[in-house]
Chains A and B, each alone.
Chain A
Amino acid sequence: MKTRPSSRHAFAVLVATFVLATSPTAAFAQATDDPPADDAAAPDVPADPAATGPQPAVGDSVKQLQPDSAPSPTASDETPPPGNEKGDETSQDDETSQDDEISQDHVSSSATEKPQIPDFAAERTDESDWTMPGKTTALTRFSKLDEINDKNVKDLKLAFTFSLGVNRGQESAPLVVNDTLYVVTAYPNHLYALDLTKEGAPLKWSYTPDQPLAAQGVACCDVVNRGAVYSDGKIIYNTLNDTTVAVDAETGKEAWRTKLGRIQEGMTMTMAPTLAGDKVIVGNSGGEMGIRGWVKALDVATGKVVWTANSTGPDEDVKIGERFKPFYDQYKGKDLGVKSWPAGMWKNSGGGAWGWVSYDPELNLVYTGIGNPGPWNSSMRPGDNLWAAGVFARDADTGEAVWYYQTSHHDWNDYDGVNEYMILDMEWKGEKRKVLVHPGRTGYMYILDRETGEVLSAEPFGAITTSDGVDLKTGRIQWVKDKMPDDTGRVKKDLCPAAPGAKDWQPSAYSPDTGLLYVPHQNLCMDLKETEVGYIAGTPFVGAEVRMKPGPGGHRGEFTAWDLTKQKAKWTLKERFPVWSGTVVTAGNVVFYGTMDGWFKALNATTGDELWKFKTSSGIISQPTTWRGPDGHQYIGVLDGVGGWSGAIVAGNLDPRDGTAALGFVNAMTDLPDYTTAGGTLYAFKLPD
């Protein structure tokens, strides 16, 4: 591949054309009628129009701050019912040390209140049930249940287990509705209902969607599923072969199924739907396969598609019209989803919406993160590559775009914009603002105004060498030019964060009691070399050779408690492997997460002190949840089953001798098989009677 790149590229195009001409019914019949042409391979890195803007002193002020005068574990012991009271104490401590950091004007010095979960979500935090992965559509993952608290969690015991029957990465969340526990597995996407009213929570029914084995062959990063949502008597989730199914929660019978895409185009679905009123919002995966991303709204009652919004292409397809009022100028103009790409490349541009969707019923807006542009080879697609790698605010009823923000223009590191956009209300420079909090793959903790799309703050929470801050005037990330791929074709070394970002899909939780955002994430860097690639439908469209490695310090995972008011970490726990599980925090001042070497842990949510841990059979990459059972007691549930992109070396039995395997993740995980094997089990814990 070092020789004659242009002729080889031409060959690939020729191959694609050949397929189109000769085999219209073959798996590759979807070869584009506009394959990435030679002119698309121009190696120029586009000039960054925002490069001249003022550079914020990102990181400079925060790093000199002394550690907080955090309440000690004893402080929390003195507060009998762990809850709001203690939280308020923390707030006052925070205020005193706040005086030292006025140097940064976007760090509010007048903040007096902790960010709050808005009413529409707060009123559901004390429910016994857990009906959607994010707890509410604000995605806060906070429960008011406090029977299990920082003083008694050390006694937590296993209540029951259930084998999922699938030894692939389990990324979903146990749901509990009306005394029944529902859990979706990795492919083949079994749905199990367990009867919590009976001893041992026996199986009530199971449902397995009808889908072809071949779907496994186009899932980029293990055959995961991120969970289901309950609504209107139905459990609704996506299957790997691009189908949304609704299953009667009582009987396990399929209520409706809607086919939304084709695996022959490299498209899959792995995300958890979000409920928005009488609709569910779903999106596709396949940014490594040259798909064209979209978000769809389906009617909960019938499964009918109410609206579809593409991530790229003409304004009409993207649902950009009169109501579109982006905050920043670079998003204004006609058909930017076409013009910010080389001719025709938007058709195979990636931009899947495979992550989290949040919903604010008061504004009636859904916030849909958009994935990376394709191919990874960024030299092939000069331009900003809109609307990939960012977030749309859309009218939940019509899908119309209201604003957009791009976290990674001309993305060159696979920095998808799909991580959660958590909905909170907070005081900002003395003003109440409706915000989204987004721990980005880029390594910055973004706070956005959710009404306008303005970036209020973007402070680093991970090690970063690829950029030099986010310009708050233009909203643009400041790429470090000499780290970017250039026409020498040389390997670019020590790009931090690596392709999965400083944080990937694994969702955070926020406690209004502590004012802290709990962020499970990774500490990885990478070496990257761009390679030629031609689009062939149904095959990967990547064009990069990656080797990941541990980030500074050598640990690969971190669990960070982030103070949203101060915009800095309060404490950080280091873990050997990426923390690829979600997290849940409770009014009991306890936060839970799991590790890839198979420890399920409970920490004091205020101090980060480890209070309890349990060794599971396999590594954990799922989303823990909590509920109150029919016996009146609080439970914590989690799935083990290592896998996902980070655990592909185990789930897919990959070979550590090839560091480029699994898009380069294997290089940073060669020792994972020494710590864990594949598995798949549900665990539920409670206090002893």
Chain B
Amino acid sequence: MTYRVFPFVLAISLCLGVAGCSDQGDEENADNSAQSDTQSAGSENPPPLDQPSGGDVEISLVSIAPGGGKPVDQQSAAAKAAKGNPQAIEIGRQLFTSFNCNGCHFNGGGGMGPALMDDKWIYGSSMENIASSIREGRPNGMPSFRAMVEGDTVYKLAAYVKSLSENTKPRSDVKLAEPASISEKAAAKDDEGEIKSPEESGR
């Protein structure tokens, strides 16, 4: 994977003439569907990506570029094919368990690894960003799964990961679980000794 570095001045000058340079200001920018397979704000237009895997995809982690230009933002054909595709998502879901992704991220809520169902993407929210996180790992402990994902497999995983953050209910709907319903005998130790319920602290 390569991250292209642009000459600062060139990026500025290009920006002057490119309508898409307006500040989109959010990380979803990197995943804007308006971005075609080949679109980028680079100093050159990378060749169209028609290979199944995204080995040469160039993708930035951030949505800002010096001088108001746009960061490199490609999407491979494989990523495009998998994104939002129910079959790909279903295969991705199975892979998510087979690779023990669920051991750290559970069903999107996170644990050892960060939550995936929220709208925060430390390493970018685009299909290519997610695929890159899976392939290469990330420094705070995300392992590199490069040896385990062949061909377009990584995009199916990415499609599932991306789907986790879609159509989730609002957090305000979450209610604390009801207490367990168990027999009196099993709970009997609660009758032992003196029970004190201190004044509810906090609020």
Which residue of chain A lies nearest to B139 when distances are taken between CB atoms in the complex?
Answer: A213
> Most A CB atoms within 10 A — which of B111, B183, B203?
B111
Whether a CB of chain A sits under 8 angstroms from the CB of B117 is yes
Chain A residues near B (Cβ < 8 Å): 1, 8, 11-12, 15, 18-19, 22-23, 26-28, 59, 62-63, 65, 67-68, 70, 213-220, 288, 460-465, 494, 496, 525, 531-534, 536, 538-542, 547-555, 560-561, 568-576, 595, 597-599, 608-610, 613, 648, 652-663, 666-668, 670-671, 675
Q: List 10 A-B contacts (CB under 8 A).
A: A23-B146, A213-B140, A494-B182, A540-B100, A541-B103, A550-B177, A552-B187, A560-B193, A569-B192, A670-B174
Which residue of chain A lies nearest to B101 when distances are taken between CB atoms in the complex?
Answer: A539
Cβ of A23: which chain B residues have Cβ within 8 Å of it? 146-147
Contact B148 A18 (CB under 8 A): yes
Cβ of B120: which chain A residues have Cβ within 8 Å of it? 653
Which residue of chain B lies nearest to A462 when distances are taken between CB atoms in the complex?
Answer: B189
Contact A655 B175 (CB under 8 A): no
Complex CA distance for A550 and B114, rounded to whole angstroms: 24
Complex CA distance for A67 and B196, rounded to whole angstroms: 12
Whether a CB of chain A sits under 8 angstroms from the CB of B166 is no
Contact A610 B198 (CB under 8 A): yes
Whether a CB of chain A sits under 8 angstroms from the CB of B99 is yes
Whether a CB of chain A sits under 8 angstroms from the CB of B191 is yes
Contact A214 B106 (CB under 8 A): no
- Which of A553, A570, A655 meets B108, CB within 8 Å? A655
Contact B193 A539 (CB under 8 A): no
Contacts A12-B98, A531-B97, A542-B103 known; A216 to B140 CB distance under 8 Å? yes
Complex CA distance for A569 and B199, rounded to whole angstroms: 21
Whether a CB of chain A sits under 8 angstroms from the CB of B113 is yes
Contact A659 B98 (CB under 8 A): no
Quote the shortest CB–CB distance from B12 to chain A (angstroms).
Answer: 34
Which residue of chain A lies nearest to B197 when distances are taken between CB atoms in the complex?
Answer: A574
Cβ of B107: which chain A residues have Cβ within 8 Å of it? 658, 660-661
> Chain B 77-99 against A: per-residue CB contact (8 Å), 1 yes, 0 no?
00000000000000000100111
Contact B189 A461 (CB under 8 A): yes
> Chain B 109-148 against A: per-residue CB contact (8 Å), 1 yes, 0 no?
1111111011010000000000000000101111110111
Whether a CB of chain A sits under 8 angstroms from the CB of B7 is no
Contact B143 A539 (CB under 8 A): yes
Contact A215 B111 (CB under 8 A): no
Contact A654 B140 (CB under 8 A): no
- Which of A220, A496, A670 meets B112, CB within 8 Å? A220
Cβ of A494: which chain B residues have Cβ within 8 Å of it? 180-182
- A-B complex: 3 closest residue pairs judged by Cβ atoms: A217-B141, A540-B103, A658-B109
- Which of B94, B193, B200 meets A67, CB within 8 Å? B193
Cβ of A560: which chain B residues have Cβ within 8 Å of it? 193
Whether a CB of chain A sits under 8 angstroms from the CB of B47 is no
Which residue of chain B lies nearest to A498 when distances are taken between CB atoms in the complex?
Answer: B180
> Chain B 168-184 against A: per-residue CB contact (8 Å), 1 yes, 0 no?
11010111111111110
Cβ of A63: which chain B residues have Cβ within 8 Å of it? 188-189, 191-192
Quote the shortest CB–CB distance from B91 to chain A (angstroms).
Answer: 12
Contact B182 A574 (CB under 8 A): no
Complex CA distance for A8 and B189, rounded to whole angstroms: 43
| Extra inter-chain contacts (6) besides given A494-B182, A597-B202, CB under 8 Å | A541-B103, A551-B180, A552-B179, A552-B187, A609-B196, A655-B171
Complex CA distance for A357 and B178, rounded to whole angstroms: 36
Which residue of chain A lies nearest to B108 when distances are taken between CB atoms in the complex?
Answer: A658
Complex CA distance for A560 and B194, rounded to whole angstroms: 10
- Which of B104, B146, B174, B176 meets A26, CB within 8 Å? B146
Contacts A18-B148, A599-B201 known; A659 to B192 CB distance under 8 Å? no
Quote the shortest CB–CB distance from A297 to chain B (angstroms).
Answer: 29
Which positions 25-79 of chain B face chain A at CB distance < 8 Å?
none
Contacts A26-B146, A576-B202, A658-B115 known; A551 to B188 CB distance under 8 Å? no
Contact A539 B191 (CB under 8 A): no
- Which of A464, A539, A658 meets B103, CB within 8 Å? A539
Cβ of A462: which chain B residues have Cβ within 8 Å of it? 189
Which residue of chain A lies nearest to B189 when distances are taken between CB atoms in the complex?
Answer: A460
Contact B193 A59 (CB under 8 A): no
Contact A28 B180 (CB under 8 A): no
Cβ of A215: which chain B residues have Cβ within 8 Å of it? 141
Cβ of A541: which chain B residues have Cβ within 8 Å of it? 100, 103
Contact B144 A15 (CB under 8 A): no
Complex CA distance for A22 and B145, rounded to whole angstroms: 12
Contact B198 A574 (CB under 8 A): yes
Whether a CB of chain A sits under 8 angstroms from the CB of B195 is yes
Complex CA distance for A250 and B178, rounded to whole angstroms: 52
Complex CA distance for A91 and B148, rounded to whole angstroms: 65
Contact B98 A217 (CB under 8 A): no
Contact A662 B111 (CB under 8 A): yes
Complex CA distance for A541 and B109, rounded to whole angstroms: 18
Which residue of chain B lies nearest to A546 when distances are taken between CB atoms in the complex?
Answer: B106
Contact B202 A675 (CB under 8 A): yes
> Chain B 138-161 against A: per-residue CB contact (8 Å), 1 yes, 0 no?
011111101110000000000000
Cβ of A67: which chain B residues have Cβ within 8 Å of it? 193-194
Contact A27 B190 (CB under 8 A): no
Contact B110 A59 (CB under 8 A): no
Whether a CB of chain A sits under 8 angstroms from the CB of B186 is yes
Which residue of chain A lies nearest to B98 when distances are taken between CB atoms in the complex?
Answer: A12
